[in-house]
């Protein structure tokens, strides 16, 4: 089964009608793991979806987030970024070059006794600092 078909199946399984903008946006997120912003996605897809509206990108990402297809990551910027990678991982933001990196994270190793009173649904570990490249300068 090819990628486009898998994307459609995934969407239908989550009660999302696989319209053209939606499948393109989801495909873009699957193929670009660099945590794009709404604007990045919008600009990238304009050439293939002539009439695409930015509102559609917003609507679609809100829908995806709601249905659990993607995660919104807000790491100190004012604009949200989106991530189709659902496996547990943290985000590192370099304060010098502003790039965002994924890093491996094993939630099981964390002592989360402090959360015993809560029903936790979603974990976001955001770390800021200096990335490898920027350390050399």
Binding residues for Zn(2+): 94, 97, 131, 134
Contact in structure between 16 and 4 (CB atoms under 8 Å)? no
Among 10, 21, 27, 101, binds a copy of itself (CB under 8 A): 101
Under the criterion CB under 7 A, does residue 37 sit at the interface with DNA? yes
Smallest CA-to-CA distance from 28 within 2, 46, 1 is with 46
CB neighbours of residue 111 within 10 Å: 6
Over the window 62 to 91, marking each residue x when it contacts a copy of itself by CB under 8 A and - when it does not, the resulting string is ----------x-xxx-x----------xx-
State the minimum distance, in angstroms, from the CB of residue 8 to a copy of itself: 29
Residue in 52, 43, 47, 66 with CA at minimum distance from that of residue 21: 52
Structure tokens, 96: 């010098």
Min CB(49)–DNA separation in Å: 6
* Cβ 136 to a copy of itself shortest distance, Å: 12
Cβ-based neighbours of 24, under 8 Å, separated by 6 or more:
45, 48, 49
Which spans of this chain sit near DNA (rule: CB under 7 A)? 16-17, 19-22, 37-39, 49, 51-56, 58-60, 62, 78-80
């Amino acid at each position: 089964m090819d990628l486009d078909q898998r994307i459609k199946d995934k969407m239908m399984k989550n009660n999302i009608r696989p319209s053209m903008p939606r499948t393109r946006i989801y495909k873009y997120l699957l193929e670009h793991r660099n945590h794009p912003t709404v604007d990045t996605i919008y600009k990238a897809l304009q050439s293939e979806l002539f009439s695409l509206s930015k509102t559609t990108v917003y609507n679609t990402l809100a829908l995806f987030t709601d249905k659990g297809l993607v995660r919104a990551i807000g790491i100190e910027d004012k604009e949200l970024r989106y991530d189709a990678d659902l496996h547990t991982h943290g985000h590192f933001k370099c304060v010098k070059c502003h790039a965002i990196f994924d890093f491996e994270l094993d939630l099981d190793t964390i002592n989360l006794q402090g959360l015993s009173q809560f029903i936790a649904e979603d974990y976001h570990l955001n770390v800021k600092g200096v990335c490898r490249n920027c350390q050399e300068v």
